Structure 1
Amino acid sequence: MTTNTDVLLQKANAPYATKLLTFAATAWFVVATIGQWLFGIYILLFYGKYAVTGDFEKWNRVLPHGYVEGDWKANTVVAIHVLLAAILVIGGPLQVIPPIRQHWPRCHRWLGRTYVTTAIVVSVAGLIMIWTRRSEGHSIRHISISIQAIYIILFALLTIRHARDRQFTQHREWALRLFMVVNGVWFFRVGLMFWLLINGGPVGFDPKTFTGPFLTALSLLTYAIPLSLIVLELYFYARKRQNDALSLFASVLIFLCTGITGIGIFGAMMRLWLPNL
């Protein structure tokens, strides 16, 4: 059995390129975690404030047709979807942090069960919302989001299966894949804000109809063919191959993603989250 000391020695003796790859992945995760927790706090404060005051119509400021007067069933689905989404973006990073997994395994297991169950429920609620209410965008975006929901449900089931079979390496990999696809909406917002900042405004889409080639491409690369998942698979492959050139390439790509993520988070905070609070 490999001891903690053995693991530390292996990390200390790892090639420079491998260390750089680990550092790049850690840097992205730290930036993404900060952004996700800010988003989760925003969700709770914005939606919670108007739910407490009974001013549900204000939800439509950021979620078009999120609240429809008299349609209590669909409104309940939206409320559940929003609340559970906050749980996902706040609790998700906690599942990935190694010290929590290593030193508080019971907490990790129960949080994991909650996370997986919540992911499935949110996906189903999201499907109901996207196909039963008039939402901004067009059919390509709706189909892409639906594909993402299938990813989430499939990856959640595979994560559970490997955990029950005590195949922990595969379990962690599928949990990371689940983490990436669960955060599709967050990636979409961060990507959109990055695009708006570097271009100084909407380019490649109509902000009134929320349609255009850029949004189509962003939807496909966020939901249907997740770029985040592709980068993660490259990271897994580079770790397994232990090839210096491949590790350096993956590191540069991840550092680039970290910069884009950080800029997008800043843009979302300044243009979306803080103004609506």
Structure 2
Amino acid sequence: MQKAVRLTGFGIYSLLCIGVAGYAFYFLQMPVNPHNDFQQKLLASGWEVPLHFYASGLALLLIPLQLSRLIRKRWLSFHRYLGVVYALAVLTGGVAGLVMAFNASGGWVARLGFTSLAVLWLGTTTLAVKCAIERNITRHQVWIYRSMALTSGAITLRLFLGLGLGVFQLPFLTVYVPTSWLSWMLNLAICEFILWQQRRSVVA
């Protein structure tokens, strides 16, 4: 029963990763809505927007493969290769996201939220790579889980925006500003709880 629940959760999470990554790849090709100021602002921006969308989408797309126990056990070299691609995607998407954060809608609160996300995203991924190079697999897993939790902020962001704008019909900035923080803080909190449970089960 527990295994079935875990596999179901992993399947749903994988579909969300694929769906949001696909949206990121498609976003810049979407028809321009003249009444959507946010879309027009993004499309009028410079190199950082396509770089962030494509690189971050790639990082998100790789998460289910990186989490696959089957790949790690049978094709370790492939897992390591994907890890290098993931790290490069985060580096590219994180730097571009940091540039975007300085001009984010919603004033300094939203800008600080997205800047914090970009810095933590780059930092956790760097530490995960460092631990992998040092063959400290236990610490590598801890830091890569945190990195993936932050990568998944793209999923949480869109869920919150869809709920706030689509379901509750709230004004854009009313939803967007708190989401600039909640989209990644919630993921990180859940990740830390899971890591705490894992440490407790090992001790027990």
Give the shorter-chain TM-score range: 0.7 to 0.9
Is residue 20–residue 154 contact of structure 2 (8 Å, CA) maintained in 1?
Answer: no
Matching residue's letter, 1:45:
Y
Which of 174, 179, 187 is the aligned partner of 2:156?
187
Which of 58, 80, 89 is the aligned partner of 2:32?
58
Point out which structure has higher relative CO (alpha carbons under 8 A, 6+ apart).
1
Residues 39-54 of structure 1 mapped to structure 2, 5 A cutoff: 39-47=20-28, 49=29
C-alpha distance 184-59 of structure 1, shift in aligned 2 (>3 A): farther
Q: Deviations over 1:49-106 (max 9, x none)?
A: 46xxxxxx839856341233xxxxx532322222212211211221111111111111
Which of 154, 171, 179 is the aligned partner of 1:218?
179
**Which runs of 5 or more residues in structure 2 are unaligned?**
none
> What is the aligned residue count?
200
Radius of gyration: which is bigger? 1
Which of 60, 73, 90 is the aligned partner of 1:102?
73
Query: TM-score when scaled to structure 2?
Result: 0.84
Which of 34, 43, 46 is the aligned partner of 2:15?
34
Matching residue's letter, 2:198:
R
Residues 1-277 of structure 1 mapped to structure 2, 5 A cutoff: 20=2, 26-47=7-28, 49=29, 58=32, 63-68=39-44, 75-131=46-102, 133=103, 135-196=104-165, 200-203=167-170, 206=171, 210-212=172-174, 214-223=175-184, 226-242=185-201
1:148, distance to aligned residue in structure 2 (A): 0.7
Matching residue's letter, 2:173:
T
| SS of the residue 1:161 aligns to | helix
1:177, distance to aligned residue in structure 2 (A): 0.7
C-alpha distance 217-129 of structure 1, shift in aligned 2 (>3 A): closer
**Which runs of 5 or more residues in structure 1 are unaligned?**
1-18, 51-56, 69-73, 244-277
Percent sequence identity is 20
Query: TM-score when scaled to structure 1?
Result: 0.64
1:24, distance to aligned residue in structure 2 (A): 5.1
